[in-house]
């Protein structure tokens, strides 16, 4: 980026690491600009993208295979372990993509790779840290907004005072005759623990986000901002197929579940991808992803005793109503100018 001072024939340019370098003439500035590596490639390296996709998806199916072979589906006690292991497969896909990418971009040091993936340096620090903290608190609000819509549409009733549904669940886990602990206090503790849950979930969320937003989104950026956001999000959603076809997330075991997860991945992926483009860092998406996972069970805290339970494909954290909430938030960001090129910038590291 060039900042020209009209009072003299000089220009000041930001180098790749954020330092200022004077250019005494316009020609000198142009030379510096042409010599400076740009983190947005001039074209999509489809070979690297294909290898990334094949590795991430192939390993996801391989990791999930025991669930299919054991025949217990999402009731399998191994599900939490397998789902956690599956979250690491996009990171392995990223390694494979980077190896293929070396043919075009040549050998780069660790610093260049970290910069390409949005891991380091954190510049500007204030914006990166601010967005990261904001995403941790915004994700529970997204889930809560979906619950508000569910309640307004009459699909479920919520008890925000006595927490009667949660009290029933809690009572069922206690030995007969045991006194019920203060339910309101437990609910408050659960809410306070969400930011901690975001941090605890971050290592596994990083396994995904370093692939989707760290590598794939910038790799697709030559297609344009919106195609890159939507395509990377669609692939993220589709990657869940081995679990979705077992009934995970929606209770659907056919193509409708895959299509719905792909839609959710596209819309939610726009929000996480926006933080990546806005900050040139993957960390807001990592902690935002972790916070969203930590918030997914909010409905269990607030549902009223005896309330109807709507199907997960409609009212779950990534169901149709949630997709509508994501779409509204995206529209607000668009109207606020948050997707303008001057806000997203040309560089991703």
Confidence of residue 240 (pLDDT cuts 50, 70, 90): very high
C-alpha triplet 278, 284, 287: angle, nearest 5°: 165
The yes-or-no verdict on residue 301 having pLDDT over 80 is yes
| Interval 87-115 mean pLDDT | 89
Percent share of the chain, pLDDT over 90: 78
pLDDT score at 338: 96
Contact 258, 314 (CB under 8 A): no
Q: Comparing C-alpha atoms, which of 279, 317, 14, 321 is closest to residue 121?
A: 279
pLDDT over 70 at 30, yes or no: no
- Whether residue 268 is predicted with pLDDT greater than 50 in this model: the reply is yes
Closest CA to 333 of 277, 264, 295: 277
Average pLDDT of the chain to the nearest whole number:
88
Q: What pLDDT sits at residue 21?
A: 38
What is the per-residue pLDDT for 340? Answer: 92
Over residues 85-94, the pLDDT tens digits come to 999 999 999 9
pLDDT at position 107, please? 67
Residue 303 DSSP code: B
CA distance 252 to 245: 7
Confidence of residue 110 (pLDDT cuts 50, 70, 90): confident
Q: Residue 265's pLDDT band (boundaries 50, 70, 90)?
A: very high
Q: Please tell me which residue, 300 or 8, carries the higher pLDDT value.
A: 300
Count CB atoms within 10 A of the CB of residue 348.
25
- Among 21-35, 159-173, 278-292, which is the least confidently predicted range? 21-35
Q: Decide: helix, strand or coil at residue 37.
A: coil
104 φ, ψ (degrees, to nearest 5): -90, -40
Give residue-wise pLDDT tens across range 1-10: 333 333 333 3
Compute the distance between CA of residue 206 and CA of residue 202 in angstroms, rounded to an integer: 6
Higher per-residue confidence, 209 vs 35 = 209
Categorize the per-residue pLDDT at 215 as very low, low, confident or very high, splitting at 50, 70 and 90.
very high
pLDDT, mean of residues 104-133: 88
Average pLDDT over residues 173-190: 91
Q: In the chain, what percentage of residues exceed pLDDT 70?
A: 86
């Amino acid at each position: 980026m060039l900042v020209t001072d009209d009072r003299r024939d000089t220009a000041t340019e930001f180098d790749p690491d954020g330092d200022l370098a004077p250019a005494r003439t316009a020609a000198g500035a142009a030379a510096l600009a042409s010599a400076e590596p740009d983190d947005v490639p001039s074209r999509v390296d489809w070979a690297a993208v294909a290898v990334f996709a094949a590795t991430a998806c192939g390993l996801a199916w391989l990791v999930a295979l025991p669930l299919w072979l054991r025949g217990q589906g999402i009731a399998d006690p191994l599900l939490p372990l397998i789902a956690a292991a599956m979250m690491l497969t996009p990171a392995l896909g990223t390694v494979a993509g980077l190896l293929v990418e070396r043919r075009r971009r040549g050998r780069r040091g660790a610093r260049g790779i970290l910069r390409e993936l949005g891991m380091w340096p954190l510049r500007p620090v204030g914006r990166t840290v601010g967005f990261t903290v904001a995403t941790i608190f915004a994700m529970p609000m997204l889930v809560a907004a979906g619950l508000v819509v569910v309640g307004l549409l009459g699909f479920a009733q919520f008890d925000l005072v006595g927490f009667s549904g949660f009290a029933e669940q809690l009572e069922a886990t206690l030995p007969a005759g045991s006194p019920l602990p203060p339910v309101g206090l437990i609910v408050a503790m659960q809410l306070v623990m969400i930011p901690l849950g975001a941090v605890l979930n971050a290592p596994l969320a990083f396994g995904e986000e370093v692939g989707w937003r760290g590598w794939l989104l910038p790799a697709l950026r030559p297609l344009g901002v919106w195609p890159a956001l939507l395509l990377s999000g669609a692939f993220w959603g589709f990657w869940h197929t081995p679990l979705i076809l077992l009934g995970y997330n929606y209770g659907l075991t056919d193509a409708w579940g895959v299509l719905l997860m792909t839609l959710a991945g596209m819309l939610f992926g726009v929000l996480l991808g926006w933080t990546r483009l806005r900050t040139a860092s993957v960390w807001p998406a990592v902690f935002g992803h972790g916070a969203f996972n930590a918030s997914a069970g909010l409905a269990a805290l607030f549902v009223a005793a005896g309330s109807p339970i709507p199907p997960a494909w409609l009212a779950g954290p990534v169901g149709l109503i949630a997709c509508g909430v994501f779409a509204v938030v995206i529209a607000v960001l668009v109207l606020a100018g948050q997707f303008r090129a001057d806000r997203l910038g040309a560089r991703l590291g």
